[in-house]
Amino acid sequence: MIVFAGEVILLDVEGTTSSIDFVYDVLFAYAKEHIAAFLQTNSQDDEIQEISQALAKEAGIVADIRNGSGCTQIVLAAMELMKKDVKSTPLKALQGRIWKAGFNSGQLVAHVFDDVPSSLANWAASGIDIRIYSSGSIEAQKLFFRHTAAGDLTPHLRGHYDTTTGPKREQESYRKISENIGVRPEQILFLSDVGAELDAARSVGMATGATLRPGNRPFESHYNHEQIQTFTDITL
């Protein structure tokens, strides 16, 4: 149980609001299945070219999606990054564009745990500023919460952060978020299933909570974070 009297709740997605299995078995699988066709179809799109060039640079290759062999190289590089679960900003941007097509077509519907919709609604009604911090791109986050099985949850959310703010395991990222919101870190409760992320947040003064959702992996931590199984374990 967590008793929180602050102003902001900052949420992770994978393993916190949604299951790890959904992210890996549905979202990642969808991106892998459609990435080649997506790049081929959008090879002349300036934004997709920019993202693919950034991805190629990160992978240490020289390739251009406007020709067949270059497109194949970038697909293989993206596949390798996904296999290693690298928190790559251009990869996340590319995945977000692919997921957008899936969500808009109805092929994808985001999973959230049963307690999430009512908890978000109750927190927002209580005046809590709810924000998301995920390695997935901000665009992907907005799509995710707009297209959940429980409906559109974005009206409850006031802000989003991704790896453009900084890596989730680094203290400076949480300082930046606190400064962006305009509140002291002590006024923010960060919920995640990853010990290193919780440690980084706690080290700058944020309140923290470890989410013990079904399917989550055991984690190591330098702090004794309060643990919750559902969002109903939080009292405002």
Non-local CB neighbours of 164 within 8 Å, separated by 6+ positions: 89, 138
Distance between CA atoms of residues 210 and 109, nearest Å: 26
pLDDT tens digits for 202-214? 999 999 999 999 9
pLDDT at 183: 98
Are the beta carbons of 128 and 8 closer than 8 angstroms? yes
Are the beta carbons of 236 and 227 closer than 8 angstroms? no
SS3 of residue 77 by DSSP: helix
Predicted TM-score (pTM) of the model is: 0.89
Non-local CB neighbours of 217 within 8 Å, separated by 6+ positions: 15, 20, 193
pLDDT tens digits for 158-167? 999 999 999 9
pLDDT tens digits for 3-42? 999 999 999 999 999 999 999 999 999 999 999 999 999 9
Question: Is 2-18+111-235 assigned to CATH 3.40.190.10?
Answer: no
User: Could you tell me which residue, 86 or 103, shows the higher pLDDT?
Assistant: 103
**pLDDT for 63 beyond 90:** no
In terms of phi and psi (left: phi > 0; alpha: psi -120 to 50; beta: otherwise), the region of 127 is: left
One CATH from 1.10.720, 1.25.40, 1.10.8, 1.10.10 for 24-105: 1.10.720
pLDDT at 26: 95
Residue 109 sits at φ, ψ, to 5 deg, of -135, 125
Are the beta carbons of 71 and 39 closer than 8 angstroms? yes
Domain ranges within the chain, ordered by starting residue: 2-18+111-235, 24-105
Domains 2-18+111-235 and 24-105 agree in fold: no
**pLDDT for 220 beyond 90:** no
pLDDT at 185: 98
